[in-house]
Each structure stands twice: as structure tokens, then as C-alpha cells.
């Protein structure tokens, strides 16, 4: 069975529930027997595309959908792509005020940790920058 190329670009632009990530790389992600090209937000309310392509684009505005759900979260995992970058202190402060821990690492490590925490039924969200090559 062929996978739809981008389930989040049709309809409401969101997958209706939070699920684990089956694979990443080739500029996108696979989850729930679907394939999405581009970066991805994984929230308690569901999965949605995210227009961020590099860590330099991370701002409070780009993370607003996560901030709006902060009262439902303990941890936000940020996948920074292939590079490690410093997170703007204002982002860390905004989430700290809402008692949400931020872990920012390469996308591969962030996806693996997200899957573990989700399987443990922890209150976790993911903001993953797509990468071409999985490690």
C-alpha cells in the first residue's frame, strides 16, 4: 500500500491524535502509516506540519502552538536538525515559567526520546526540524 505523501497538507492540516514517530529522514517523518514531508509538531491535540527549516528560525512565535498547550505538558523535545544550536534564553524562560522542561538536541535523538516518553504516557510534545539523512 502506498503512503500518502503529505497527510498534513490536506483537510484540517493535522493528524487528530499524538502518536509515535516510525521513521525520520528524507526531509520528513513517517507515523501512523502515513508520511509527512517537512518539519513536524507533535502535540497532545495531534500532529501538524511546522514551517521551521533551521534552528535559527526558532522563536516564541514559531513555538506558540506548544506554548498554548503548556499546561498539558511536562517536557518539550526540540529536534534541531543535524546540528546542535543554542536555544534563545527567552524561549527557555517562557517554558520554564509554565513549568515545561525543554530538551534541544539533534532531531534523531529528540525523536527517539519522544517515542520513549510517549510510550511511558508522559506529558510530552515534540518540535522536530526535518532532516535529509537519518543517523
- The three-class DSSP label of residue 5 is coil
Say how many domains are in the chain: 1
Is residue 8, in this structure, part of any structural domain at all?
A: no
pLDDT tens, residue by residue, 41-60: 999 999 999 999 999 999 99
Summarize the confidence of residues 68-88 as an average pLDDT: 95
Q: Please tell me the predicted confidence (pLDDT) of residue 14.
A: 82
According to the model, what pLDDT value does residue 104 have?
96
pLDDT digits (tens, 9 = 90+) for 4-41: 455 565 444 689 999 999 999 999 999 999 999 999 99
* Per-residue pLDDT at 78 exceeds 60: yes
pLDDT at 133: 84
Q: DSSP per residue over 60-119, as a string?
A: TTTTHHHHTTGGG-SEEEEE-TTS--PPPHHHHHHHHHTT-EEEEE-HHHHHHHHHHHHH
32 within a domain of the structure (yes/no): yes
Single pTM value for the model: 0.90
Instruction: Evaluate whether residue 71 is within a structural domain.
Output: yes
Give yes or no for a contact between 59 and 68, defined as CB atoms under 8 angstroms apart.
Answer: no
Question: 38 lies in a domain?
Answer: yes
Q: What is the CATH number of the domain that holds 109?
A: 3.40.1230.10
Domain range for 81 is 14-128
Q: Examine residue 1 and state whether it is found in any structural domain, yes or no.
A: no
Mean pLDDT of 80-89: 91
Residue 89 lies in a domain: yes
Report yes or no on 4 lying in a domain.
no
Domain-located, residue 3: no
What's the distance, CA 4 to chain centroid?
A: 20
* pLDDT score, position 11: 41
Amino acid at each position: 500500500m502506498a503512503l500518502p505523501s503529505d497527510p498534513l497538507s490536506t483537510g484540517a492540516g493535522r493528524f487528530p491524535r499524538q502518536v509515535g514517530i516510525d521513521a525520520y529522514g528524507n526531509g520528513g517523518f513517517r507515523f501512523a502509516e502515513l508520511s509527512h514531508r517537512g518539519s513536524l509538531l507533535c502535540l497532545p491535540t495531534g500532529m501538524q506540519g511546522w514551517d521551521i527549516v533551521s534552528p535559527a528560525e526558532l522563536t516564541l512565535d514559531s513555538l506558540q502552538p506548544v506554548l498554548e498547550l503548556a499546561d498539558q505538558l511536562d517536557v518539550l523535545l526540540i529536534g534541531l536538525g543535524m546540528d546542535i544550536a543554542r536555544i534563545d534564553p527567552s524561549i527557555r524562560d517562557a517554558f520554564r515559567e509554565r513549568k515545561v522542561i525543554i530538551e534541544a538536541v539533534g532531531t534523531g535523538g529528540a525523536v527517539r526520546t519522544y517515542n520513549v516518553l510517549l510510550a511511558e504516557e508522559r506529558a510530552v510534545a515534540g518540535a522536530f526540524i526535518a532532516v535529509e539523512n537519518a543517523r
